[in-house]
Every structure is written in C-alpha cells, then in structure tokens.
C-alpha cells in the first residue's frame, strides 16, 4: 500500500520561515559561547613565581657550598654567612692534611716578619680602656664601622668614670650604626662600672678578670692582653680560624683548638705578632670567597688543594 504524503500550501511555508530564523538567532550566542575555546590554565609554578615576585620573596639558595656562595650575593646574604661556609669547608679540609714541619712554620713566619715587621691592628684606641671598648664593639662589625662610631664616643667618654656618667642611652646614641648596638651599649656601661668597682678604673692584666666583664670573651681578652700589655696571646677570629685550617697550619674544629694548636707550634720569637699576621693575611689575601693565592707569601707551603696558582 502506497504511503500517503501531504504537501502544505505554499503560503504556510513562507509564514513559518520568519519564526525559524528568529529562533536560530536567539540560540546563536549560546552556541558561540559553548564553542569558544577555554582559557589555558596558568601553570602552578608560574603562579607561584609571580606571587613570590610580587611579595618580594628572595630566591631559594642552591644546596651546594659553591652554589650557596654564588646565590647568596644575589639574595643579599651578609658576608658573615659566606665566611661561615668557607670556614666550615676549611675546617673539614684541615683535618685531612699532613701537619706542617717545624722548619715550614719557621719559614712561614719569617716571611710574614720580613713583609711586616711591626703589624698593627686596625681599631683606633688611645689606651687599654678604649682598646677594650673598641674590641667589645667590634663583634659582628667591621673595624672601619667601629672606628667611625668610637670617634665621637671616646671624645665624650675617654675613661670608665666618664662612660658610666654618659650612661647606656648616651653610649647607644654614639654607636647606633653598629649591629646589636643596644646590647653593646649595655655591656660597655656595665663593664665600665665594674672596672671602677673591682679594679680602680684600670683594665686588669689577667684573662679571668677580663672575661668576667660583660661582653668580654676569650678572643677579646686575648686581643687586649696582646696589644695593650704585650702578652704573647693568640686571638682567633674568623679570618685566623680560616687561615689555620685552610693552610693546614693549625687545624681545629673550634677557635680554642686552633689557638692551642698555634701556641704549641709557633716559636716564641713569633708569638707576639703571630695573630696579627694571620688575621691580616686572612682579611686581605686568604679571603673566604676568593683567596688571592697568586700573591700569597706562603702559597708553596699551603696545603689547600684548590689554590688557583
């Protein structure tokens, strides 16, 4: 049986066309929105980096010692951190090298003596008291910075009595440019009072008495005894510690070990100036980050395997 079809009148088809067009136009925006490609997601790492940069975050430092030294400069880490890394490496190396012979030690200090027969420290002072104060203030500070601060301080208070009269706040006003200045001002005021109370205003020529004063440790006591009174002590600072370990001259895990090692090995004729020679050598030649080995007067004796010569 044939299927019957019905053809609508021509007029009715024309009437339906505007309605269909309107319906399609209404649906077009929805279809376009659905077909629009999605915005790619920002990777998490990029977002994190952008956020960190906006917040002013410092980049993470590399894990290796060499990488840390390079990264710290960009990150603004203080030089003390670089010295600590270099000193730790030097101490580890120092424990592995053959000790110097007596002849090598004599040769090294003979060369130091020929280059600088009367080495001097770089802190400004006029007497044992001002030297003591300057050394106490030099902790975690440069000698140049200390000298700028003490110029006015010593003019205002050159004696223990004058320092006590100036008081903690007055002292702080002069040394404000130094790190930890409030704690240092407190120590200087109190040690001045104790010098008057216990020692008649004089700096004692005795290690135990010096170390009993606030802000005075073994290194400070050694500096004062050596420079002010000519006692052949050896003050081990960060530079001397690095030199003793890096060269293999007197390896030690602590400043005291290095000090005792040097005292046991250095001939008496050199002990008066030994710590000055080694400190200045570490400060200007055997530097933490870039030792200037080509001009080192003892580079042929040094045990450091990485010396660039």
Output the six-digit token pair for 178.
Answer: 């130094």
> Within 10 Å of residue 67's Cβ, how many Cβ atoms?
11
Interval 259-283 mean pLDDT: 96
Show the 3-state SS of 84-124.
Answer: HHHHHHHHHHHCCCCCCCHHHHHHHHHHHHHHCCCCCCCCC
Tell me how far CA of residue 250 lies from CA of 83, 93, 227, 241, 255, in angstroms: 18, 11, 22, 9, 10
Q: Is 58 noted as a catalytic residue in this protein?
A: no
Output the six-digit token pair for 46.
Answer: 């990029």
pLDDT tens digits, one per residue of 123-175: 999 999 999 999 999 998 999 999 999 999 999 999 999 999 999 999 999 99
Marked catalytic residue, from 206, 237, 271, 307: 237
Output the six-digit token pair for 160.
Answer: 């223990």
Question: Domains in the chain and their CATH numbers?
Answer: 87-120+234-295 (1.10.1670.10), 128-229 (1.10.340.30)
Which residues have a Cβ under 8 Å from the Cβ of 118 and sit 6 or more positions away? 273
Q: What was the pLDDT predicted at 261?
A: 96
Marked catalytic residue, from 219, 271, 292, 306: 219
Q: Is 219 noted as a catalytic residue in this protein?
A: yes
Residue percentage of the chain with pLDDT more than 70: 69
């Amino acid at each position: 049986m044939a299927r019957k079809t019905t053809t609508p009148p021509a007029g009715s088809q024309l009437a339906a066309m505007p309605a269909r067009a309107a319906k399609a136009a209404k649906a077009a925006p929805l279809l376009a929105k659905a077909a629009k490609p999605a915005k790619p997601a920002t990777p998490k790492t990029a977002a994190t980096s952008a956020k960190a940069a906006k917040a002013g975050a410092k980049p993470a430092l590399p894990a290796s010692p060499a990488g840390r030294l390079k990264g710290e400069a960009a990150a603004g880490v203080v030089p003390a951190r670089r010295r600590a890394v270099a000193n730790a490496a030097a101490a580890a190396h120092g424990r592995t090298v053959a000790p110097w012979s007596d002849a090598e030690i004599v040769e090294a200090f003979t060369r130091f003596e020929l280059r600088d027969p009367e080495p001097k420290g770089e802190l400004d002072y006029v007497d044992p008291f001002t030297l003591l104060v300057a050394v106490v203030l030099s902790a975690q500070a440069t000698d140049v910075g200390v000298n700028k601060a003490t110029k006015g301080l010593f003019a205002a208070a050159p004696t223990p009595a004058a320092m006590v009269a100036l008081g903690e706040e007055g002292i702080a006003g002069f040394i404000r440019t130094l790190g930890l200045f409030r704690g240092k001002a407190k120590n200087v005021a109190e040690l001045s009072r104790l010098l008057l109370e216990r020692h008649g205003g004089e700096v004692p020529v005795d290690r135990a008495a010096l170390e009993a004063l606030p802000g005075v440790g073994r290194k400070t006591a050694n500096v004062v005894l050596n420079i002010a009174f000519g006692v052949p002590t050896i003050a081990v600072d960060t530079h001397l510690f690095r030199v003793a370990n890096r060269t293999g001259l007197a390896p030690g895990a602590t400043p005291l070990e290095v000090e005792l090692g040097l005292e046991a090995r250095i001939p008496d004729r050199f002990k008066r100036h030994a710590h000055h020679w080694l400190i200045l050598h570490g400060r200007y030649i055997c530097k933490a980050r870039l030792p200037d080995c080509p001009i080192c007067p003892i580079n042929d004796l040094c045990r450091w395997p990485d010396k660039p010569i």
